[in-house]
Amino acid sequence: MNQSPLNKSRSDKFILILDIPTALKKKLNAVNGENFKIDPLQLSIYGSPVPAINIPAIDVSFGSQIYKTSTFSRPAYEPLTVRFLIDNGYKNYWMIWNWLNLLNDYKNSTSAAHNFPQNKVGIENPMSEYTSIFTIYGLDEYNNKIISFKYKYAFPTALSEINYTNQEPVEINSTVTFVFNQLEVNLEKDINKITCN
């Protein structure tokens, strides 16, 4: 696969598509009635959409030399913080705020996930209704999806302040920090059919 030196990915060409977690759908349907339909949430994002990926090496002694080998283990991923543009109805910000509110309610300082005390949550007993899958797509210059980064068993841990000033004519933005357990990366096009000219 030959690549032209002029064929480079452009900055800020990413979108995030987030499946709304089951517990949040149930809460919003209870408030708004069963006819309230929630589609996947789409965010226009910028910044660093992918965390560092590490499978560390270890030193193994052999005679009077050191041999490098893989640990064959993957440490926990670092949290992923993405910057996103707030829509003109503040719906994307509000949706993430409600998701955080499920994990700790602002009114009574408790969690909707009371059936999942912290020391009981694990691989065999995941808090699956409160986690979600989201996918970040890298786009080409024609806004075609080129690569996908799928984050599984994800939930937010922080939602930043709303960045706004009257002195700059730019979109209002915020950041959200997610933790997740699995990351899957796929090319959206057949690699054998990609031409780089």
Higher-confidence residue of 114 and 164: namely 164
On whether residue 68 sits in a domain, the answer given is: no
Q: How far apart are CA 103 and CA 121, in angstroms?
A: 13
Q: How far apart are CA 68 and CA 122, in angstroms?
A: 33
| Average pLDDT value over all residues in the chain | 80
Q: What percent of the chain has pLDDT over 70?
A: 77
pLDDT at 16 over 50: yes
On whether residue 55 sits in a domain, the answer given is: no
User: Element (H or E) spanning 97, and its range?
Assistant: helix 91-103
Give the structural domain span for 135: 14-49+78-193
The pLDDT value given to residue 33: 61
Residues 85-108 have a mean pLDDT of 88
Q: How far apart are CA 133 and CA 183, in angstroms?
A: 10
Q: What percent of the chain has pLDDT over 90?
A: 37
Residue carrying the six token digits 């509110």: 101
pLDDT tens digits, one per residue of 147-182:
999 999 999 999 999 887 777 677 888 999 999 999
pLDDT at 82 over 70: yes
Task: Please tell me the total count of domains within the chain.
Answer: 1
The pLDDT value given to residue 3: 45
On whether residue 179 sits in a domain, the answer given is: yes
Q: What pTM was computed for the model? A: 0.79
The pLDDT value given to residue 72: 92
On whether residue 108 sits in a domain, the answer given is: yes
Residues 33-39 have a mean pLDDT of 62
Please give the C-alpha separations between residue 35 and each of 92, 125, 159, in angstroms, as whole numbers.
20, 31, 28
pLDDT band of residue 45 (cuts 50, 70, 90) is: confident
DSSP states along 166-189 = TTS----EEEEEEE-SEEEEEESS
Residues 111-125 have a mean pLDDT of 55
- CATH number of 184's domain: 2.30.110
pLDDT band of residue 99 (cuts 50, 70, 90) is: very high
Side-chain half-sphere exposure of 107, counting CA atoms within 13 A: 3
On whether residue 160 sits in a domain, the answer given is: yes
Residues 14-28 have a mean pLDDT of 88
